[in-house]
Every structure is written in C-alpha cells, then in structure tokens.
Amino acid sequence: MTDIPNHPISRRWPAENPEVLQLYSFPTPNGVKVAIALEEMGLDYEPHLVTLSDADVKSREFLSLNPNNKIPAIIDPNGPDGVSVELWESGAILIYLAEKTGKLLPEGAAKYEVLKWLMFQMGGLGPMFGQLGFFVKFAGKEIEDPRPRERYLNEGKRLLNVLEGALEGRDWIAGDYSIADIAIAPWLRALEMYGTKEILGWNDLKNVPAYLDRFLERPAVQRGLNIPARPE
C-alpha cells in the first residue's frame, strides 16, 4: 500500500487528506479529462497543480510517480482489495475510475464501443491536434517547410469528419454519455486555443460543434475544466 505522506511526490506536493485520491495535473486537454471524470463520478479527491515546466514535470518528486514526466497522474489509496493504485496516462486513469465507480463505462458489448472511441482519441485525435497546434501556434510555426503542418492539418480534417459522421443522429459518441466523450471533447475545445478551427473547416461541420456545446453545458464539465486552478 502506498504511504502517501511518505511518498517522494509528497515532498513537493504534500497531501492535506492522504485518505482520498490524489490528482496531480494541470488544466490541459489531457489533464481536464481526469478532473471532469472525478467531478462526474462524485469521487472525493485532492488536486495538486503540476505545471508543465521542467521544474515540475521533470522533478525527482514527480518522476517518482510518473517516469514519463507527463500529467495527469493519480494515487488512489483506496484501490481494489484495499491495495493502493499509482497510475498515469489519462486514458488508463479514465478506465480505472469508471471501473472503480461503475459509472460512465457500460458492461457487455457496449463497453467496447466506448473503449473504441476512447482509443480513437488517445491514438489519433489528441496526438494529431496537438501536433497541428505546435505547427500553427507554437514553436513549429517558425518552420518554413509546409509539409509537417499540412500533414497534421489534413489528418485533423479527416478525424473531424470521422466524428462528424459518427455523431449523426446521436448526442454522445458511443450511445450514452461516457468516458469516451470526456476524452474527446476537451481536445475539440482545444482547437480554439490553438487557433486551428477555421483552417480545419469547423464552421462547415454540424454535429461536432453541437456535440461540444452539449458537453460544455454539463455542470461537472464546467467545474473540471479549471481543476487544478491555473495560477493567476
């Protein structure tokens, strides 16, 4: 069992209540997935702000929990059979939380429909949108060769069209609202921040914008989008 007060990460991010789940995160698209899920599921937890600076994510303390130096990560002292769980990778955390609570992940064949779309986000939507953002807004915009930007732009358009078709006639991507929606929608929201909505043809879509609007109207989503709160 993880002794949270004596865990190396607690030297930098001490727990006020080590009896509840500890969330180490930042409100990026991947980070807010877990906060939103925790809010939707009604679990008690304690958030810790881990900035994206090397001083935080590459610190010895954070690496003791996640050697991959990426947020989010969790420690749950109340895992299966009383065994604590240390976990990173947002998709893995979403599955764990859904199975722990019995919420937002159905049983039977419907479970794999949800997992299919969760993996669609993890392997496609997130990486492609993130790379496009790099080449449009961040350091990659200084690269003169247009081919990297065009590669991610074309793939981003393709993925949005996949979503557009899948959402025809349905409110949520896998039937009922699920962890797949919690994974996908924050990355759609990120397109505004990246400044890529127009070049991706967002205004030509019907189902995807309406889907994002439905997601953002949920009270738990509104709370989770700023947990942990960004520094002022």
Give the list of residues 6+ apart from residue 114 with CB closer than 8 angstroms, or none: 105, 106, 174, 178, 179, 180
- What CA–CA distance (Å, rounded) separates 178 from 188? 16
Which residue, 231, 232, 229, 227, is CA-closest to 36? 227
Question: Could you give the 3-state DSSP secondary structure of residue 196?
Answer: coil
**pLDDT of the chain, 232 residues: tens digit per residue:** 678 999 999 999 999 999 999 999 999 999 999 999 999 999 999 999 999 999 999 999 999 999 999 999 999 999 999 999 999 999 999 999 999 999 999 999 999 999 999 999 999 999 999 999 999 988 888 888 999 999 999 999 999 999 999 999 999 999 999 999 999 999 999 999 999 999 999 999 999 999 999 999 999 999 999 999 988 7
Q: Would you state the CATH architecture of domain 4-104?
A: 3-Layer(aba) Sandwich (3.40)
Q: Which amino acid is at 179?
A: I
In this structure, which topology does domain 109-218 adopt according to CATH? Glutathione S-transferase Yfyf (Class Pi); Chain A, domain 2 (1.20.1050)
Range list for CATH 1.20.1050.10 in the chain: 109-218
CA distance 54 to 43: 30
Cβ atoms of 114 and 105 within 8 Å: the answer is yes
Every domain range in the chain assigned CATH 3.40.30.10: 4-104
User: Does pTM top 0.85 for this prediction?
Assistant: yes
